[in-house]
A and B are shown apart, each in its own frame.
Chain A
Amino acid sequence: MRHSQRMDRLSAPRRKVQLATAAMLLMATTVAACGDGGDDGATASAPKAPATIPELTKDPLTLSFIWFDWPPAKALEDFANAEYTKDRPNVTVKVNTVPNANWHDAMFTQFAARKTDFDIAILDSQHIGEAVTNGNILDITDFVKNNIEVDAYNPYLLAAYGQFPQAETGQRDENASLYGLPLLGDTWTMIYRKDLIGDKPPQTWDEMISVAEKCQADNPGVSGLAFHQANGSDAAAVTYNTVNGVYGGNLWDPKTRKIDGVLNDAAGHEAMDVLVNKMKPLTAKGSGNWFIDEVNAAVAQGKACIAFNWIAASGGLLDPKESTLGSTREQILDKLGFATLPSQKTDLVPLGGMGMHVSAYSAEANQVEALNFMKWFQQADVQKKWAAAGGVPSRTDALSSPEFLNAGPFNQVYADSVPRMRDMWNVPEYARLVDIENTNVNAALNGAKNPKAALDDIAKEQQSVLDSSGRKGGGGL
C-alpha cells in the first residue's frame, strides 16, 4: 500500500529510476531463484528406481496416467480398474487425457513444473530422450533386470519404448539404460477396399500406387489414397518417414549426428518425389490437413480405395454407426481389408505406440505402485487379457495368442509387422525436429514448397537444431 501511495506521487523521471531499480532487484531475486531451482536438473540424469519393489501401501491410492484422448486410453482405464484392482483393491486407476495436439506440451509443461498430476507418463517413444535428459522420468534398468522377463519380448520393442540412448533399428543394447516398458504397440496398417481392388492387397509400393490409380479412375467420387498429411503432431512426418524407409532412405546417422546429406540423399529425394508427385495426386482434394480422424472418416464414408492409418486408431472403422460401408461389422469387413504395408527397396514400417514411464515428481508411494503396476502388466496372462480388451501387447507369447489375433482384423497385421519396424530420432530435440519435418512435408504436399527444396530445408534446419547447443541466444527459432 505504501508502495503504491509513493508511486502516485512520483514525477515522471523519478518514476523511471524507481522502475529500473525495481527491475534490477527483481532480476537479482530471479537469478537467485533460478540458481536454486536449477540444481535439480543441472546434472541432467534420471533418478533411479529401486531394483526391487518396496512395500506397497494399504491406504487408498489413485494411480494416474496421462495420455491423449483416444479409444485406447479409455480401454486402459477400464481394463486396469477391472483387472489390476483384483490384486490391489485399494487402488483406483485414472487415465487423464489431453487433446492429441496438446499431448507433448501437457506432459512436459508439468515436468517443467517439477510437479505432475500423473504417476505414469505415457510418452511417445521419441519423447524419451527429452524426458531422460531433463531428469523427468525414473531410470528403471535395475528394476527391469529383477522383475521383467526380458527374453519374452522382441528385443527391439523393449528398446524402442524404454532404451536411451536410442537403439539401432531392430536391436537392443543390453548395456544401455532402460526408462520405460511397452504399453501399447502400434504400426501403420494398409486399409483397402476388397470390393474395389480385390481381396489380394498390393505387395510393392509401386504396385500399390498403380492399383490406387486404377481404382480412382474406375470409381468416380472415390479417391485412390488417403493418408496423414497434417502439419500437427507427427502426422506428415511419419508419412514421409515411412515412404523414406520403404525406398531405402535414412533419417539420419545417429553415430555422427548427421542429418544433412543423409536424409536428403538420392533415396530420400526419390521418396519425396513418390510422396508428392505420385501419391498426393491420388488423394482427395483438400486432404492436405488430414490426420487420423479424417482418414478414418474418408474410409468410413467409402471415399478411399487404399488408406494408411495407425492400427490402434482403426477400431472405429468397424462401428456400423459411423460407417456407410455396411450396417453390421461383418458387412463392413466384407468390404474392408487390413494388410501390412507394401515393401519396395526395404520392408520397413513405422513404429508407433507408446511406453509407460514413471514420473520423477510423483509421491514415493505412487512411484512404488506404478512400478508394481508395470510389473503386473508385463505378465503373460495379463498381456493376453490386455489384448482381449482391445490393447496391443508386446510380449511375443501374447502377440501370437488367439486372444490377440482374434480381437481385431488388424491384429495379425501388427504381429507380422513387429520385425519390420523403424522409429524416428529419439533425442531431446525431438519436438523441434518433428515440427520442422511436419511443416515442410505439409508445405510440399500442399504446393506451398517445391518437394526438393522442402527436403533440403528439412535436412538443413534439423541439422542446425542438432548442432545448435552452445549458440549465443536465439535457440529455438
Chain B
Amino acid sequence: MTDDAGQVAATPPPAPGRSRRLSDRGLAVAFISPALLLLLAMSVFPLLWALYLSFTDYSATRGGRAYFVGFGNYTAILTSAQVHQRALTTLIYVVGAVTLQTVLGFTIAYLISRRTRGRGLLTTLFLVPMMLSPVVVGLFWRFMLDAQFGVVNSMLGSIGLGQVEWLTRQRTALISLIVVDTWQWTPFIMLIALAGLTAVPKYLYEAASIDRASEWFRFRTITLPLVWPLLLIAVLFRAIEAFRLFDLVYILTNGGPGVSTETLSFHVYKVAFLGFNTGTASAYGILMVLVVIVLSQIYLRYLNRLKEG
C-alpha cells in the first residue's frame, strides 16, 4: 500500500483530465485502506469469529474440539431467567441514569446560559467529572459511600439522619450506581445542551418579548424545540454507553448485593472468564451487539437527519 502511495506521489505533474482522476482514486484507496484494514482486523474479524463461536460449545481453556450446538446457546440465553434478571437491571439502570442526567444536565446548562458572568469558569468546573477514568470514579465513590466511615453518611449523620447502606442493599446499590454514573455524565448532557441553548438566535426571544409572551411559553415554544434535537443526540449517545456499562459495576459493587447490580456486560464477563464458557459468552455478546447496533443505527440515522436538516 505504501508503495502504491509512493507511486502516486511520484507521478509527474499530470496533464489534467482522466489520469488525474485515476490518481485521485489511487490516493483515496491508499489513504483509506490502512485504516479500514485495522478496523477489519481488530473489530470485524473478531466479531465474525465470535459469531462463529456462538454456535459452538467452545471453551477457551478446556481446549478440545468445538462442537456445533446450532442455536442452542442463543435459545438458552434468551430463555434464561438469569439473563432476564440482568436485562431488567440494565434497563432500570439505563433509563434511570440517562433520565436523571438529562434533567440535571439540561437544568445546569439552562442556568448557566442565563448567567452573564463567570460562564467559562463554571462550565469548565462542571466538566471535571467527565474527564476522570471510570476506575478513579468508581474507587472514589466506593470510598465516599462506605456505610461506616464514608463522608456521605458522615454528612447525613451530622444533620441527624441515620446511616444508609449505599452499596449493600438491593435498592440503594442500584440507586448508587445510577447516582455515580449521573455524577460523571451529567456534564456531558450539560455541554451539549449548552451548545444548543447558546445557538438559539437572539431575535426569536426579542420577538417573543415584544409579544409579552410568558417565560414558560418562550421556553416551550422557542428554546426547547431548538435544543431538543441536540439533546436527543446526547441522550441516545449516553444510552448506548450506559447499556454497555461494565467498569463501574466491577469496582463499585462487583454486582452485589447478590447479583442485584449485575448488568448484562458484567454477566457476559462472568460467563466468559469464570466458567470460560466461550461459546455461550460469544452468543451473549452477539446478542448485546445486536442491541447496540439497533441503538446506534437510530443514533446515526438521527444524526444524519440533523446534519442534513
Contact = CB atoms under 8 A, between A and B. Distances in A.
Contacts of B253: 289
A444 B259 CA distance: 11
Contacts of A176: none
B258 A449 contact: yes
B131 to A, nearest CB: 24
A41 B148 contact: no
B271 A477 contact: yes
A4 B36 contact: yes
A30 B271 CA distance: 22
Nearest to A1: B33
Interface string A432-452: 100100011011111111000
Given A42-B65, A286-B167, A448 B148 contact: no
B289 to A, nearest CB: 14
Interface in A414-443: 428-429, 431-432, 435, 439-440, 442-443
A34 interface: yes
Contact of B170 (A8, A435, A440, A447): A447
A439 B255 contact: yes
Is the contact region of chain A dominated by helix, strand, or loop, or is it mixed? helix
Which secondary structure characterizes the binding site on chain B?
loop
A355 B243 CA distance: 41
A154 interface: no
Interface residues of A, number: 64
A429 B64 contact: no
Interface string B161-196: 001011111100000000000000000000000000
A281 interface: no
Most chain A Cβ neighbours within 10 Å, of B1, B147, B257? B257
Nearest to B258: A443
Contacts, number: 193
Contacts of A285: 147-148, 163, 165
B273 interface: yes
Contacts of A449: 258
B33 A446 contact: no
A169 B237 CA distance: 55
A109 interface: yes
Interface in A94-118: 101, 104-105, 108-109, 111-112
B73 interface: yes
Interface stretch (B76-84, B209-217, B223-231): B76-84
A52 B155 CA distance: 65
B258 A448 contact: yes
Interface string A314-350: 0000000000000000000000000000000000000
Contact of B147 (A112, A232, A287, A444): A287
Interface in B256-309: 256-260, 270-271, 273-277, 279-281, 283
A446 B170 CA distance: 8
Contact of A442 (B62, B70, B257): B257
B51 interface: yes
Nearest to A446: B257
Given A1-B33, A4-B29, A431-B275, A286 B163 contact: yes
B73 A112 contact: no
A382 to B, nearest CB: 33
B45 to A, nearest CB: 7
| Interchain residue pairs A-B with the least CB separation, the first 9 | A286-B147, A41-B63, A474-B76, A473-B72, A443-B258, A476-B277, A288-B168, A446-B257, A473-B69
Interface of A: 1, 4-5, 8, 22-23, 26-27, 30-31, 34-35, 37-38, 40-42, 44, 101, 104-105, 108-109, 111-112, 130, 133-136, 230-232, 284-289, 298, 301, 303, 428-429, 431-432, 435, 439-440, 442-449, 465, 472-477
